[in-house]
């Protein structure tokens, strides 16, 4: 045997120079970019008046005081289930959209796609369209090339800084932080966060681009489980386009196609245009059927490579469904443009369901769109998604602005007082979820005769500051000789009430007697 070195597992990146394209989907994507980037950059600057003691930022993740503000909603840490619910909804929403419309998330709204799109736009403005960029890439490092590259990187860097900078505004008051950032007075965490996000934006959007999707992102791997033959996705109508070619190539292809079809027919079952699946004792996947249109001459595809040249992922959609394809639909625009020029109907490359292939090959009309989208799977996803959404909205409306938690002190379980009375101690945390200080009254209810006393307070009322939790030690006492004092455990319920607003909350707990 010969001396063989093992095959290399490394593939160098092929540089991609997406060409400018215009059309419906490109315009749609520009709008999505404006809206998504607008939301991202501007949201922290929206003000929302919550009164004097609360921040006036509409969307604020206040990690220091452990509050999340979203418009009129304020989430406390113990209400994290709202965030968990939203994340589950986001996950299910992704399932729903992927099973119905394929990788629309990847193609239109994924931050990697949006920022890469923006970076490519900048690249085109500065270095020119595809051909100019290819020339520049292959050319030597002249002063001209250095100047263009430096300009491009500088603009990328500005976008990256704006991106990293916008992120930190979500976590503290934006105008104050902006001032502190400029004067150098902001917390180092802000600068470090901006530096990291600037670096990732610059590198991911400028250099890694499609490699993030192909090698780093887990989502393309999960897609397959979400998609099926009814999913609407970007595909090439191979039966309409093939055999491809232009001019003399097309005429030669036509002859070849006819010969091939005749050969195929002569060869009978077992022959195929494509190499068969080599399973023993199994008929070949493609039988001796003549592909529709093979003998009808050349297809609509003139092999102009427009679809390949505009692809930001650097693939050829005509090779069929590929993991790399993010369904950005730019190839559809590119092909439609060409079809219009050569006087053919649009849609050689188009959104379609793969299950329509057979019907379309036979020349029958495809199933209507709604039949593809409305199927048990998408209905189920929508149902679960709506159920969780309804649950969250319900939870949002029934939640109280007054709450308490009770932790009984169990070291010791009870204290005997000098007159023989038995006392239990409870640490009660009172939450005032409104933006103003309120007076709360504490009381208890129980079948047994028990007394309540607040440690260090004369009365049974106390003032809880705005938007705060207050820890109050509470003594519950059973008079000497009563069943609660001498018995084992007695159930009781501690109540907190805002008499002015007439709202109250309660927690059940137990009273430990001497157990005699």
The binding site for other proteins (CB under 8 A) comprises 1-4, 409, 411-412, 415-420, 423, 425, 455-456, 475, 480
CA distance 33 to 26: 10
Q: Which is nearer to other proteins, 130 or 429 (CB)?
A: 429
Q: How far is the CB of 146 from other proteins (least distance, A)?
A: 33
Q: How far is the CB of 4 from other proteins (least distance, A)?
A: 7
Q: Which is nearer to other proteins, 66 or 410 (CB)?
A: 410
Tokens coding 57: 């930022």
Q: Which is nearer to other proteins, 233 or 512 (CB)?
A: 512
Q: Which is nearer to other proteins, 391 or 481 (CB)?
A: 481
**Strand ranges in 58-169 using DSSP code E only, listed in sequence order:** 59-62, 67-70, 73-75
Q: How far is the CB of 174 from other proteins (least distance, A)?
A: 29
168-177 — which CB contacts under 8 Å span 24+ positions?
A: 168/193, 168/194, 169/44, 169/45, 170/43, 170/44, 170/59, 170/60, 170/61, 171/60, 171/61, 171/62, 171/63, 172/60, 172/62, 172/64, 173/55, 173/57, 173/60, 174/44, 174/45, 174/57, 175/45
Q: How far is the CB of 420 from other proteins (least distance, A)?
A: 4
Q: How far is the CB of 491 from other proteins (least distance, A)?
A: 23
To 10 degrees, the CA torsion angle through 168, 171, 172, 173?
80
CA distance 368 to 373: 9
Sign of CA dihedral 299, 301, 303, 308: negative
Q: Which is nearer to other proteins, 5 or 183 (CB)?
A: 5
Nearest residue to 404 (alpha-carbon basis) of 380, 438, 372, 381: 438
Q: Which is nearer to other proteins, 287 or 412 (CB)?
A: 412
Q: How far is the CB of 415 from other proteins (least distance, A)?
A: 4
Q: Which is nearer to other proteins, 5 or 248 (CB)?
A: 5
CA distance 61 to 177: 14
157 SS3 class: helix
* Burial degree of 108 (CB within 10 A; 0-12, 13-18, 19+): buried
- CB-CB contact of 444 with 476 (8 Å): yes
Q: Which is nearer to other proteins, 193 or 460 (CB)?
A: 460
Q: How far is the CB of 191 from other proteins (least distance, A)?
A: 23
Q: How far is the CB of 64 from other proteins (least distance, A)?
A: 17
């Amino acid at each position: 045997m010969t001396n063989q070195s093992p095959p290399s597992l490394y593939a160098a990146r092929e540089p991609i120079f997406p060409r400018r394209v215009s059309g419906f989907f490109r315009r749609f994507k520009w709008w999505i970019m404006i809206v998504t980037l607008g939301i991202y950059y501007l949201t922290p600057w929206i003000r929302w008046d919550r009164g004097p003691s609360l921040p006036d930022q509409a969307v604020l993740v206040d990690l220091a005081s452990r509050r999340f503000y979203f418009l009129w909603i304020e989430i406390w840490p113990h209400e994290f289930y709202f965030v968990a619910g939203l994340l589950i909804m986001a996950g299910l929403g992704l399932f729903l959209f992927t099973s119905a419309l394929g990788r629309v998330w990847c193609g239109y709204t994924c931050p990697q796609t949006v920022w890469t799109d923006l970076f490519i736009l900048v690249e085109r403005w500065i270095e020119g369209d595809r051909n100019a960029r290819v020339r520049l890439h292959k050319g030597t490092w002249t002063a001209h090339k250095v100047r263009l590259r430096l300009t491009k990187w500088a603009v990328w860097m500005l976008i990256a800084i704006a991106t990293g900078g916008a992120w930190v505004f979500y976590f503290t008051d934006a105008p104050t932080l902006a001032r502190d950032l400029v004067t150098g007075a902001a917390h180092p965490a802000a600068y470090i966060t901006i530096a990291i996000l600037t670096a990732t934006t610059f590198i991911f959007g400028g250099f890694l681009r499609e490699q993030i999707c192909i090698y780093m992102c887990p989502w393309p791997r999960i897609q397959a489980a979400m998609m099926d033959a009814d999913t609407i996705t970007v595909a090439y109508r191979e039966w309409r386009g093939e055999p491809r070619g232009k001019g003399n190539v097309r005429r030669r292809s036509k002859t070849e196609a006819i010969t091939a079809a005749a050969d195929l027919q002569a060869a009978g079952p077992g022959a195929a245009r494509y190499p068969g699946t080599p399973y023993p004792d199994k008929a070949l996947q493609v039988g001796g059927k003549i592909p529709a249109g093979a003998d009808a001459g050349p297809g609509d595809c003139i092999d102009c490579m427009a679809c390949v040249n505009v692809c930001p992922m650097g693939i050829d959609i005509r090779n069929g469904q590929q993991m790399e394809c993010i369904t950005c639909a730019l190839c559809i625009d590119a092909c439609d443009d060409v079809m219009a020029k050569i006087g053919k109907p649009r849609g050689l490359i188009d959104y379609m369901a793969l299950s329509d292939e057979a019907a379309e090959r036979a020349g029958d009309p495809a199933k209507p769109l709604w039949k593809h989208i409305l199927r048990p799977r998408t209905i189920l996803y929508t149902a679960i998604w709506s159920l969780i959404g309804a649950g969250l909205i319900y939870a949002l409306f029934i939640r109280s602005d007054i709450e308490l938690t009770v932790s009984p002190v169990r070291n010791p379980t009870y204290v005997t007082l000098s007159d023989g009375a038995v006392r239990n101690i409870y640490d009660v945390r009172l939450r005032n979820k409104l933006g103003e200080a309120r007076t709360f009254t504490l009381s208890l209810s129980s079948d047994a005769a028990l007394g309540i006393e607040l440690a260090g307070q004369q009365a049974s009322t106390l003032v809880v500051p705005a938007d705060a939790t207050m820890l109050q030690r509470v003594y519950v006492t059973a008079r000497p000789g009563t069943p609660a004092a001498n018995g084992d455990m007695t159930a009781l319920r501690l109540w907190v009430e805002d008499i002015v607003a007439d709202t109250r909350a309660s927690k059940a707990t137990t009273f430990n007697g001497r157990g005699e």
